[in-house]
Chain A
Amino acid sequence: MTTAPAPMPHFNPRSVGRVTLRWVGIAGLLAFLVAPMVPLFIWSISFRWFYPDILPSEYSSRAWEQVISPTNNVLGSTWQTTLIALLVTVLSVLFGVPAGRALGLHNFRGKRIVEIMILAPIIVPGLAVVLGIDTMFIRYGLSGNIIGVSLVHLVPTLPYMTLVMSGVYANYDVDYELQARSLGAGRWATQRYVTLPAVFPGVVVGALFTFLISWSQYVLTLLIGDGQVQTLPILLFNFARSEPAIAGALSVVFILPGILVLLLSSKYLSGDSAAVGGIGNI
Chain B
Amino acid sequence: MKMRLTEKGAQRLSISFLLAPALAVIILLFLGGLITGLLRSLNYFPLIGLNDFNFEAYVAIFTDNGFIQSLVLTFHIAFTSTLISCILAVAAALLLRPAFRGKRIVHFFFSLNLTIPHLVGAIGVLYLFQNSGLVSRIMTGLDLISKPADFPAMVFDPWAIGIIIQYVWKEIPFIGVIVLAILLSVGEDYESVARSLGANRWQAFRQVTLPLIMPGVVSASVIVFAFTFGAFEIPYLLGRTFPAALPVLAYQSYTDVDLAARPQAMAMAMVIAFISTLLIMAYMKLSRVYIRE
A72 to B89, CA, bound (A): 41
The residue among B11, B31, B180 with the most chain A CB atoms within 10 A of its own CB is B31
Complex contact A51–B30 (CB within 8 A): no
**Closest Cβ–Cβ distance, residue A74 to chain B (whole Å):** 15
Given contacts A30-B106, A37-B124, A135-B40, contact A129 B22 (CB under 8 A): no
Which of A129, A223, A266 contacts B37 (CB under 8 A)?
Answer: A129
Q: Is A123 in the interface zone, CB < 8 Å from B?
A: yes
A262 to B120, CA, bound (A): 17
Given contacts A29-B95, A123-B226, A125-B229, contact A132 B19 (CB under 8 A): no
Q: Is B61 in the interface zone, CB < 8 Å from A?
A: no
Complex contact A123–B110 (CB within 8 A): no
Which of B63-71, B202-210, B264-272 touches A?
Answer: B264-272
Given contacts A29-B95, A39-B124, A212-B115, contact A124 B180 (CB under 8 A): no
Q: Is B244 in the interface zone, CB < 8 Å from A?
A: no
Q: Is B123 in the interface zone, CB < 8 Å from A?
A: yes
Over the window 116-159 of chain A, the binary record of Cβ atoms lying under 8 Å from chain B Cβ atoms (1 yes, 0 no) is 11111111111111111111100100000000000110110011
Complex contact A155–B30 (CB within 8 A): yes
Within 8 Å CB of B109, what residues of A?
30, 33-34
A216 to B86, CA, bound (A): 24
Give the B interface residue count (CB, 8 A).
102
| Interface range, A side | 35 or more
A34 to B124, CA, bound (A): 10
**Closest Cβ–Cβ distance, residue B154 to chain A (whole Å):** 13
Which A residues form the contact surface with B (CB < 8 A)?
22, 25-26, 29-30, 32-40, 42-43, 51-54, 91, 94-96, 98-99, 101-103, 106, 108, 114, 116-136, 139, 151-152, 154-155, 158-159, 162, 212, 215-216, 218-219, 223, 233, 236-237, 240, 244, 247-248, 251, 254-255, 258-259, 261-262, 266, 269-272, 276-277, 279-282
| A-B pairs, 9 with minimum CB distance | A125-B230, A36-B124, A271-B181, A258-B115, A132-B37, A99-B22, A133-B33, A216-B117, A132-B36
